[in-house]
Amino acid sequence: MEHLPVEVIGNILSRLGGARDVVIASATCRKWREAWCKHLHTLSFNSNDWHVYHDLTTSQLEILITQTIFQTTGLQGLLILMDGVDKFSASTVIAWLMYTRETLRRLIYNVRTTPNVNILEICGRQKMEILELSHNSITGVEPNFQRFPCLKSLSLSDVSISALDLNLLLTACPKIETLELINPEIAMSDAQVTVELSIPTLRRVYVEAISMDKFILEADSIECLHLKDCALELFELIGKGTLKHFKIDDVSVIHLDIGDNVDNLEIIDISNFTIIWPKFYQMISKSSKLTKLRLWDVVFDDEDEIVDLETIAVCFPQLSHLALSYDLKDGVVNYGLQGSSHLENVIVLELGWTIINDLFSHWVEGLLKLCPNLRKLVIHGVVSEAKSHEECQILANFTSSIVQLMRKYMHVDVQFDYE
């Protein structure tokens, strides 16, 4: 160990994570102390890492963090995650940021302060590449002054910001590729809540817990779009056909439009969502490069709607991963097994239920016949704590049926995932 270059020791210490562990390790010897002071590039203060953080007063915490940061030089990554901690003094937090801003490339920050600290003003025009802000307020953005020339990833969680300031902030990030908006408080000037964003460099977008009338996103380079737990009247994506991964989870939207040019879509993952199948199918039917399709806990707008797997087989010839949840209504499964076409390239099949009955095993058998080259079968199920004798018998019969069925498919790896 004594022959390790001091720069390597600095890398080792930077990978320990919590600041407490780093400080303890730096006491190993004089060389490790030197590495801590001169070659440490990442430091993390997380209230979940050490229970003592919660036992200290706010002033004691401020002193502890200040002393630790000020012993380092050249920090590139600073994580300050203090959940359940009282508000810090703004002057103390400003001192941390002013001391590290010239070398800082990654800042993850959820500190509440009195008064609010303008992170953009302090860290703008520097080398910042990743910025994650939580529980903050952003007002009066000036893109010419508060510019982030190197920023590639921006995450705003529980942040108060107006639609105008959000647009101006993104304008000030000419190289931004990843955007996360989690439960933002969007301030609007009129009654209708509308957000319109135009970001040509954006590749990945994650939006969670947003409720508004209209969300219009113009992104010519977007590859991944994930909407979760949102309530929208209209969501529209304006792009140039670069979208590859589209995911929706527990979203309520009246009008959904991801554009006509979806030729490059490779993954579609839909869960806890109400679908007007003919309209949705028309939107994705040209995605001939699709390799994964997941329709999970999907509610069909028309109760009599049946998704024809024959159509899926024909339209998505490269499909290799198919995941479907089982929903029985009046003895009819929403995913029909009619037709002669096979899902030739499907090698992973995931099937699930919320309420099991004797027809589920027959449905599994029918799908296995449609996938001649299947390698892996995953069965998901919900098992309640209190079960009647009849429910236990159904589960037992299903287990026996699957064991007997899989003897015909010895080459298929079978996994069960119950919750």
CA dist 213 and 163 (Å) reads: 13
Whether 336 shows a pLDDT value over 70: the answer reads: no
Q: Which residue has the higher pLDDT, 190 or 220?
A: 220
Average pLDDT, integer, range 89-115: 94
Where residue 330 falls among pLDDT bands split at 50, 70, 90? low
Residue 234: strand, helix, or coil: strand
Name the amino acid, one letter, at 130.
Answer: I
CA dist 297 and 305 (Å) reads: 15
Cα dihedral 111, 70, 98, 152 sign: negative
Q: Which helix (H) or strand (E) holds 17?
A: none
Where residue 329 falls among pLDDT bands split at 50, 70, 90? low
CA dist 183 and 25 (Å) reads: 38
**Residue 289: which of 243, 247, 232 has the closest Cα?**
243
CB atoms within 10 A of CB 326: 21
Name the amino acid, one letter, at 169.
Answer: L
Distance in Å from the first CA to the final CA of the chain: 47
- C-beta of residue 140 within 8 angstroms of C-beta of residue 116: no
Q: Please, which residues have CB within 8 angstroms of residue 34's CB and are 6 or more apart in sequence?
A: 6
pLDDT digits (tens, 9 = 90+) for 13-63: 999 979 999 999 999 889 999 999 999 999 999 998 888 988 999 999 999
CA distances from residue 173 to 26, 125, 195, 223, 390 in whole angstroms, order as listed: 37, 10, 18, 18, 60
- C-beta of residue 219 within 8 angstroms of C-beta of residue 240: no
Q: Which residue has the higher pLDDT, 390 or 179?
A: 179
- C-beta of residue 128 within 8 angstroms of C-beta of residue 150: yes
Name the amino acid, one letter, at 325.
Answer: S
Where residue 304 falls among pLDDT bands split at 50, 70, 90? low
> Would you state the pLDDT for residue 235?
95
Q: Which residue has the higher pLDDT, 334 or 415?
A: 415
Name the amino acid, one letter, at 407.
Answer: R
- What pTM was computed for the model? 0.91
CA dist 79 and 42 (Å) reads: 8
Where residue 265 falls among pLDDT bands split at 50, 70, 90? very high
